[in-house]
Amino acid sequence: MSEAFMELFDIKEVFEQNSRQRILMGTPKRSPDEIVVINRFYRDETFNESLYLLLKRSLKNLVQIENTATELVVVTAYPEGAPLTALIESPRLLPSDRMKLAEFYLDQAAAYEGLPPAIQSLLIDLNQFVVQDTGLEPKELIVLDRGFKPELEPSAVTKKLSGVLNHILKPNEAAYEEFETDGIRNLIAGLAVGAISSISAARGTFAGLMASSERVSGTIHTTTSEKAGSNAGVSVPGAAVAGASVAGARVTRASENSVNTHPENSRSETDGNATSSIAAGSAVLGAAAAGAAAFGASAGGATAEGTGTTTLRSAGQGPGTSSGDSRTGAVGIELDNLFISEEPAKRTSPPRKKTVKKRQFKWIAWLLLIAVACLVLFGIFNILTGLFVRKAPVARFETQIDNGTYHFINKSSVSGSDNKLTQISWRIEKDGTELLSSDEFDLTVSFKNAGKYKVTLMVKDRYRWSSAYSQVMEHELAEGASIPSGEGEPVTVSEADDPLSGIQTSNVSANVSYDEKISRTGTASLKLDMTNTDQAQLSLDGLNVNRSTALSFWMKSSETDRVILTVFGYNDNGLKFTKKLTLMPQSTSNWEMVTIQSNYDGITAMKLQFSAPGTILWLDNFELAAFK
């Protein structure tokens, strides 16, 4: 991170660190009550200038973004709220609620469509969303763990989107209307097989389903006419006709031979196959609209009966006639409590006034609103309970010493049966200088130099950090002992054959040892084994480095994967500079030279931190040399 950038934020803790990024939690200096996530991506073929522009355009929570020569730094606000995954599992959610949640989710996910598929796949995950009073909010927390695959294909995004929608909508459990259930299943299946190939296409298709869910109920009511032979017509307000057509509602009508037929037996054949295909991405909406159009086509001539009202005469019937019955039926269609009746064209006396039904499901909407509010309040209550009622976790560890190797066993505890540790932070200091930080659950280290080392542990549960717990280790170095070998036994290397060429070392991580089987010159090299861990580090002490001095060494790698080398330079007052290098080994058989030039005068120690998961590195021929 550039020095200018660090002036804007205070760093509170390290959230995550791996070979591709370093994530910090902090607060803006101008707004210390706010929380931000500072995501530092190491520059490579994925995190480049192109992605910088895409992230700047797509991220909703973006606070600041910076593109440097070595890093892409993205700062985002961190929204808090109840997890969307918890809300989805609520048995009180009605099908209409699940449809609305899916609509909100697709609206948010569509913003990430221009990003690379691997980034899209991370951002559309259900765990990336929380529920607030204002709706769904994305976390936009990009963590590049070992499952991250930059080469991910677009089909993997739609396949994941299929699983997310299936989880939200639960079409095999929720009681949707029959054609809605078919439409949802076809949408999910189309995403899974790639027939619907983008988030925006899925969003458009789902919009059709949402429109269909607001359709008329399709039930036909019949009443006996006061006078046979009168005109049979349907009185439909113009706005209602347009609404039915746009919604693509499935409307049923009376059979020409039996006006009083039960609604279940009088559905039109055109509507029967309304949801047979989703290949075009919106076939559900089109077919349903076709069903409504079929009903309109079966009506006869139309005459105006007042402002905004159109009368449609049934096909096959004329004035004063009826079809297969001596009674002329008045057909009524109920559109979500909007009652539309088919009345005789002329009446000798005013008909008895029909009572308009009150909204049937208004109380359900209120119950849903109360249920969602309760869920949000319950989530807030849990958070507040965790922060102010639950006891903070207690950090503790035990120390075991085995042949000069220290094993620090984590014995920390949390309060509550539903609680657990979520983060671990170890820190080892000597004379006030930090030598090592780690997030491992248990820590194993070997000290090369004698002295007093302060080991500090802090842990975090689901709600808060513990107080720091420290122990001071007084390490005495046995005469002739050096860096442990791979088997844990000390070895002695003569100064002439020492790969460090007389440079003193300390703070060597447990996965660093002398290897007497492989060396560039002499009889041994330093072996950094990262096959089971992400990092290895060592400190070089007693240096005399200035701007005209360079540290060099030779490196050999078991893999051709990139190696991230972070160099920390210290003087008598503490940390003076940090430099990050990306090393790309050309082969696994040749030694390659690495040179590090100091940026400051008076450097007395350096810490070299290598990050190359799954790789073994060999280092040899360390040398300090002056240059002009």
CA distance 432 to 80: 36
The pLDDT assigned to 521 comes to: 84
Average pLDDT over residues 383-400: 77
pLDDT greater at residue 419 or residue 266: 419
Q: Is the pLDDT of residue 295 over 60?
A: no
The model's pLDDT over 529-555, given as tens digits with 9 standing for 90+, comes to 999 988 999 999 888 888 778 888 999
Q: What token pair was written down for 524?
A: 């041994």
Q: Point out the least confidently predicted range of 28-42, 205-219, 502-516, 569-583.
A: 205-219
Q: What token pair was written down for 269?
A: 């054949």
The pLDDT assigned to 222 comes to: 35
Three-state DSSP string of 54-83: HHHHHCCCEEEEEECCCEEEEEEECCCCEE
Q: Is the pLDDT of residue 229 over 60?
A: no
**Backbone φ, ψ for residue 506 (5° rounding):** -155, 180
Q: What token pair was written down for 488?
A: 């844990």
CA distance 214 to 288: 12
The pLDDT assigned to 308 comes to: 35
Average pLDDT over residues 196-221: 73
Q: Is the pLDDT of residue 481 over 50?
A: no
CA angle 498, 503, 506 (to 5 degrees): 100
Residues 6+ apart with CB under 8 A from 519: 497, 499, 525, 618, 620
The pLDDT assigned to 5 comes to: 62
Q: Is the pLDDT of residue 17 over 80?
A: yes
* Of residues 459, 616, 609, the one with CA closest to residue 537: 609
Q: Is the pLDDT of residue 319 over 60?
A: no
What is the overall mean pLDDT for the chain?
73
The pLDDT assigned to 417 comes to: 80
pLDDT greater at residue 403 or residue 455: 455
Buried b (16+ CB within 10 A) or exposed e, 335-356: beeeebbbbbeeeeeeeeeeee
Q: For tokens 């050309």, what's the residue?
A: 586
14 SS3 class: strand
**For strand 616-626 and strand 549-557, is the pairing parallel, antiparallel, or unpaired?**
antiparallel
Strand partners, 236: 310
Q: Point out the least confidently predicted range of 32-41, 158-167, 334-343.
A: 334-343
Q: Point out the least confidently predicted range of 103-112, 232-241, 342-351, 515-524.
A: 232-241
Task: Give all strands (DSSP E) within 381-511, no chain letters.
Answer: 397-402, 405-410, 423-430, 433-438, 443-446, 451-460, 469-475, 504-506
405 SS3 class: strand
Give the rounded percent of residues in the chain with a pLDDT score beyond 90. 26
Buried b (16+ CB within 10 A) or exposed e, 426-465: bbbbbeeebbbebeeeebbbbbbbeeebbbbbbbbbbbeb
**For strand 512-515 and strand 549-557, is the pairing parallel, antiparallel, or unpaired?**
unpaired
pLDDT greater at residue 287 or residue 407: 407
The pLDDT assigned to 122 comes to: 92
Rg (CA), the chain: 36
The pLDDT assigned to 489 comes to: 39
Q: Point out the least confidently predicted range of 73-82, 266-275, 379-388.
A: 266-275
Residues 6+ apart with CB under 8 A from 226: 344, 347, 348, 349, 351
Q: Is the pLDDT of residue 353 over 90?
A: no
The pLDDT assigned to 415 comes to: 87
User: DSSP string spanning 528-572?
Assistant: EE-SSSSEEEEEEES--B-TTEEEEEEEEESS-S-EEEEEEEEET
The interaxial angle of helices 95-109 and 154-169, nearest 10 deg, is 160
Q: Is the pLDDT of residue 562 over 50?
A: yes
Asked whether the whole model's pTM tops 0.75, one would answer: no
Give counts: helices (H), strands (E), the chain: 12, 31
Which element (helix H / strand E) includes 24? strand 21-28
The model's pLDDT over 25-69, given as tens digits with 9 standing for 90+, comes to 999 988 888 999 999 999 888 888 888 899 999 999 999 898 888
Residues in the chain: 628
Q: What token pair was written down for 585?
A: 């080994």
Q: What token pair was written down for 381?
A: 């209550």
pLDDT greater at residue 132 or residue 26: 26
* Of residues 196, 409, 156, the one with CA closest to residue 283: 196
Residues 504, 482 contacting (CB under 8 angstroms): no
* Of residues 127, 102, 58, the one with CA closest to residue 203: 102
